[in-house]
Amino acid sequence: MSVWTLGINHQTAPLDLRGRFAFALDQIQPTLHQLRSRLPRQPEATLLSTCNRTELYGAGDPTALDPTLDWLAQTGGVSPQVLREHAYVLRDGHAARHAFRVASGLDSMVLGEAQILGQMKDAVRVADEAGALGTTLHQLFQRSFAVAKQVRSSTEIGAHSISMTAAAVRLASQLFEDLREIRVLFVGAGEMIELAATHFAARTPKAMAIANRTMERGEKLAGRFGAQVMRLADVPDRLHEFDAVVSCTASTLPIIGLGAVERALKKRKHRPMFMVDLAVPRDIEAEVKGLDDIYLYTVDDLAHVVQTGKEHRQAAVAQAEAIIDAGVLSFMHWMERRDPNNGVIPLIQQINAQADAWRAHELARAKRLLARGEPVEAVLEALSKGLTQKMLHGTLAELHSGDAAARAATAETVSRLFLREGAPPREPRA
């Protein structure tokens, strides 16, 4: 049994390549089914897909990695060689460390951001519903969540951080003298758009509008901010009305094209437009960035803005890494205990079987004594003594055998096992 991670992220792959491997939440379950059906020994598997990363976590035969990479490359429409140039493959302890760092926000574009933890929990939930999550990955992710919680509560890793949406507002304020005089269009109605609308609303712009494919969802979000609602299909014709556009949908193709932006600029008499594309794949065609009077930023363009304050968090990063180190050691110890090749599990099974045999023998003897009318207290005394003698016989025999060095080593082990300090075991509840 091995755990592994195969992925690409904002540090290893450009935006357009990441866009080829972006999966919406409702696509994860069928995607996992497709992957596992392609492998002879179906591994445990979880797929995490966000704006900044697409990662497959697996547990099982490590030889599944190469065919998994080939399958992922085919899914994204690129050659395995291209994917290998940008992907990372991590195994066992390195895979666990990566999962813990991702959950804790240490591997994010925005250092310490908390949104990734919710996204990871969603991915795990969907994998569980798909029947692709087994004991090993369940342990890995539950420990990831626990480590992330400890990092959040014990360090200041999230202090001084600037979110992507807050960075967008900061950039807009550099372009426009007064954000109270601009009109803002939000395309989409998901979590990122909700965050962006919250940040812009705090600056009280002249007008805000929500465009979404589903009007009901758009109306619900617009109601929170006193914004207008419009159909997604109306965006190209009304684009000129807005000074700032923030888009983040799950569309697989751009929904704001070069032609629509050119027409909008003409109607605006080339007054500048501020545009933020938070979607992966892109919502706004890349060629739009080349137009005069257009200031277009993607998630990758915002990277240097969100690094502000990073130096203040370096001490917190060191603390977080120490917590993660302890979590990795604990998880790998758990993995080793479960490995049938290390002899521990078979030994535990043999010990339990022997103890059950002793218990059954003494219990049968006690029942015979009770059937003959022996006093209950005497029977219980005999039962406890019989079990104690059987359990200690081998230990006491070892302490009396061998040379002095062997007896000393045995004595040390026995003392550690039977005479350890601490409170006695609790009585079982009735």
Q: Which of 6, 17, 48, 51 is catalytic?
A: 51
Nearest to 250 by CA among 28, 72, 6: 28
At 214, the amino acid letter reads T
Active site residue 51: yes
The C-alpha atoms of residue 401 and residue 90 are separated, in whole angstroms, by 48
Helix axes 376-399, 404-418, angle to 10 degrees: 140
The tokens describing 34, both together, are 């497709």
Half-sphere exposure of 312 (CA within 13 A, CB side): 11
**CA–CA dist 143, 133 (Å, integer):** 14
Structure tokens at 97: 């460390």
- C-alpha to C-alpha distance for 136 and 143, rounded to whole angstroms: 11
Give the number of other Cβ atoms within 10 Å of residue 385's Cβ. 11
Distance, CA of 186 to CA of 283 (rounded, Å): 12
Tell me the C-alpha distance between 424 and 97, whole Å: 36
Peptide linkage before 281 cis (omega within 30 of 0) = yes
Question: Which residue spans within 188-260 are E strands per DSSP?
Answer: 207-212, 228-231, 244-247
Q: Bridge partners of 276?
A: 246, 297
C-alpha distances (whole Å) from 390 to each of 188, 227, 421, 424 are 71, 78, 24, 21
Give, as one character, the DSSP assignment of residue 340: G
Q: So which residues are the catalytic ones?
A: 51
